[in-house]
A and B are shown apart, each in its own frame.
Chain A
Amino acid sequence: EVQLVQSGAEVKKPGESLRISCKGSGYNFANYWIAWARQMPGKGLEWMGITHSSGSDLRYSPSFEGQVTISADKSISTAYLHWSSLKASDTAMYYCARRIIAVGATSGGGFDSWGQGTLVTVSS
C-alpha cells in the first residue's frame, strides 16, 4: 500500500526556521516525484512545487519561489519542505503528494496519493 507519512504539527515564532518531512513507503520512492501543497485556513489548495526523488530536479510555483526550499533524500525515501524565516502568513496545513504519470509519458500527470498533512502555526 502506497503511504506518505508527514511529520507532526509545529508551532513556531516568526523568524524561526522549520523543515517538515514526508516519508514514502509501499512503492519505489526513487521512481517518483513528490509535490507540496499549501492550504491556508478555510481556503483552497495551492500548488507550491515539486521535487524528483533524487532532489536534483526541482520546480517551484512562481508564488512560492524564494519563499520555501524543497528537497529530497531518496536514501531514506523522504521529501522535505523548508523555511529559513517563517512569517505569520505561513500558518497553514501543508500536504505532500505523489506525482503519477501515464504509462509511456514523460511529462504531465496528476497526484495519486497524499500525506495526512502537517499543520504549521506561526505566532508570536
Chain B
Amino acid sequence: QTVVTQEPSFSVSPGGTVTLTCGLRSGSVSTSYYPSWYQQTPGQAPRTLVYNTATRSSGVPDRFSGSILGNKAALIITGAQADDECDYYCSLYMGGGIWVFGGGTKVTVL
C-alpha cells in the first residue's frame, strides 16, 4: 500500500488552474514533512519544481506554487500550458533520514 498518496491523474484546460495534492494514508501532512514536488516528462530525469513546501527551485516559473491545503501538501499550477502535460511526483520526509515519494499524478492538458 502506498504511504504517500497522490491523484493518479488530472485533466486541466489550457490556461486553467489545477491543484495536485500529496497526502498520507494515515495522518496529515504539515511543513514538518518538507513536501517537495517534481516534474517528469517521458524519457527525462525529474526536475524539481518546489521544495520545503513552498520554495520554488531556480528557474521555475511562478505559475507553479506549493502550499499546505487542509491536511495535504498541494502543488498549484496556474495558466496551464501544453508542456505542463507530464507526470508530477511529491516527496515527504518521514523522519529518521527517510523520504518517500508519492505514486505520481499524470496531468493532461486538453
A residues sitting closer than 8 Å to B (CB atoms) are 35, 37, 44-47, 50, 57, 59, 61, 95, 97, 100-102, 107-117
From the candidates B32, B51, B98, name the one contacting A110 in the complex (CB within 8 A): B51
Find out whether the CB atom of B89 lies under 8 angstroms from the CB atom of A59.
no
Q: A45-B38, A95-B46, A109-B36 are in contact. List 15 more A-B contacts (CB 8 A).
A: A35-B99, A37-B46, A44-B87, A44-B104, A45-B89, A61-B100, A97-B46, A100-B51, A109-B93, A110-B91, A110-B99, A111-B36, A114-B45, A114-B47, A115-B45
Find chain A residues with CB under 8 A from B102 CB: 44
B residues sitting closer than 8 Å to A (CB atoms) are 32-36, 38, 40, 45-48, 51-52, 55, 57-58, 87, 89, 91, 93, 95-104
Find chain B residues with CB under 8 A from A100 CB: 51-52
